Structure 1
Amino acid sequence: MNRLTTAALAGAAGLAALTVGLAPTATATTTAPAGPAGPTGTVTCGDPGAPGFLRTRACIEVNGTHVRLYGQVATTDPAWVAQPVGFTITGSTPALPPQPPLNVTALVLPGGGSVGDLLLTVPCGNTVTANFSVNNGGWPPSTATVTAPVPC
């Protein structure tokens, strides 16, 4: 083997080790401006909150004992211009101590979309309640709630 090949193999091995070291780990809370492309578990969404500038809907995705709380937002004004908006996501279950609220700012495009993630690990047989609300100073509130079971 020549030096160039040996150096390339050593560099590739180092990169592979670094990639393994950077693998994601389980977390209690994660924030993101938008939800993933599609659900991987059972999704339950509640009724829309009171209409304001935006209409909100709370959703819970359950995949085994992994639970994702997020919100959906729809614009109610046909002249809506994309802008950053503050939201709050809260979750509760009898199986866990009170969770801190997740405050996230997301760019809301005309039409709306998914907002934020609050990730929990909940033992099966419990229920989870999610609240999703607009948290933008001076705007009318639009809070939505949903409850879903974590089956065994």
Structure 2
Amino acid sequence: MAVSGLRYDVFISFKGEDTRLGFVGHLHKALIDKGIHTFLHDHQLMRGDSISSSLVKAIQSSIISIIVLSQNYASSKWCLDELVHIMENRRPVIPVFYYVDPSDVRHQKGIYGKAFAMHEKSNLDSHKVMRWRNALRQVADLSGFPFRH
């Protein structure tokens, strides 16, 4: 069903430990059952691994992205790098605020503030951290779906 030149209808960005076996697993199955060609990264990533070129290509070749913003999403450098690529891709994005407050995501408060405090303590490139912060602000400003079962 993907548009010509694009390989996927939907790219799902998520933090595996928070949502893979529950919400994201059910979402992925529902999309597949409806014939929606969906990219879901199935491999666990090692700490420090950088986002792969194949993952960037999947983002670029998707019509839309669904970002599942969960408790530990901002603690993952991988998720944040992925988010930057998604936001720079300038295709439609649907945020799902999975047990997180959109305001905490937007302003990096609460658990998101704690995650960024840890990133800053680890002496990461300040430009990279600023790009992550900006991407989170952008996605939190979009109309999305708060999920609190």
TM-score bracket for this pair, using the shorter chain length: under 0.3
When normalised by structure 2's length, the TM-score is: 0.22
Larger Rg computed on CA atoms: 1
The structure showing larger relative contact order (alpha-carbon pairs under 8 Å, at least 6 residues apart) is 1
Which is richer in helix? 2
